Amino acid sequence: MNVIEALSTRKSTRAFLDKPIPEETIIKVLDAARHAPSGVNTQPWNVAVVRQEKKQELQDKIEQAFRSGLKGNMDYHYYPSEWKEPYKRRRQACGLQLYRTLEISREDRQRQTDQWAANYRAFDAPVMLLFFMDAGLEQGSFLDYGMFLQSIMLAAVDQGLATCPQASLAEYPEIVKQTLGYPEDNILICGMALGYEDRSAVVNSYRTPRESVEAFTRFYE
């Protein structure tokens, strides 16, 4: 598989097989991703690979906090405080596509809650990746981190794995840091589900649309 094929194959997967990933495969993915570029070679990434009993412990704590009504409080603002077009429309369409695929009605609050809670279990993938960054770094390091995350996802595709990058796994940074022993002054960037795709799951049957190149590109000569 070449890079262009991997880019078009990658998708956000929300159902995984109950199949462990060999540790050497995880290391191989991260070893490839570490070659991602970063400003003046800062390499701002710090990765927690959470599996088995520790994953169960952490996801139980986060899901319990969510179901108790405790509102998440990320270390930074991921989304805008006010949604404008065309981003508002795209966001709404994304959520609607998910619920329609799963046949969850607008009135079925319980199923909506249960589906959202699956985020905090990394959709039951065998591996939850969590990404931290030194709080002393600036916005440029977020750009670096994006390239690192994409590199992980492409390397995962190469290894026959599926992923779902998740801002939701950074909504309860205090719980994550306390459970894993990370310092408070680290920024929890996001998380990622990593595993083998359950191709029979309905939730994995759809793809979100993308804008055409012509819609976001201008050529100057």
pLDDT digits (tens, 9 = 90+) for 93-104: 999 999 999 999
The CATH code of domain 3-216 reads 3.40.109.10
Q: Tell me: the pLDDT tens digits for 86-134?
A: 999 999 999 999 999 999 998 999 999 999 999 999 999 999 999 999 9
3-state secondary structure of 83: coil
In angstroms, the CA 201 to CA 102 distance is 10
pLDDT band at 1 (very low <50, low <70, confident <90, very high): confident
Outline where DSSP puts E strands in the chain. Answer: 46-51, 127-134, 162-166, 186-195
141 touches 39 (CB < 8 A): yes
Whole-number Cα distances in Å, 195 to 38, 77, 146, 186, 218: 27, 28, 20, 26, 38
Query: What is the C-alpha to C-alpha distance for residues 178 and 196, in angstroms, rounded to an integer?
Result: 29
- For the chain, the structural domain boundaries read 3-216
Q: Is the pTM of this model over 0.75?
A: yes
Output the average pLDDT for the chain.
Answer: 97
pLDDT for 150-166, tens place per residue?
Answer: 999 999 999 999 999 99
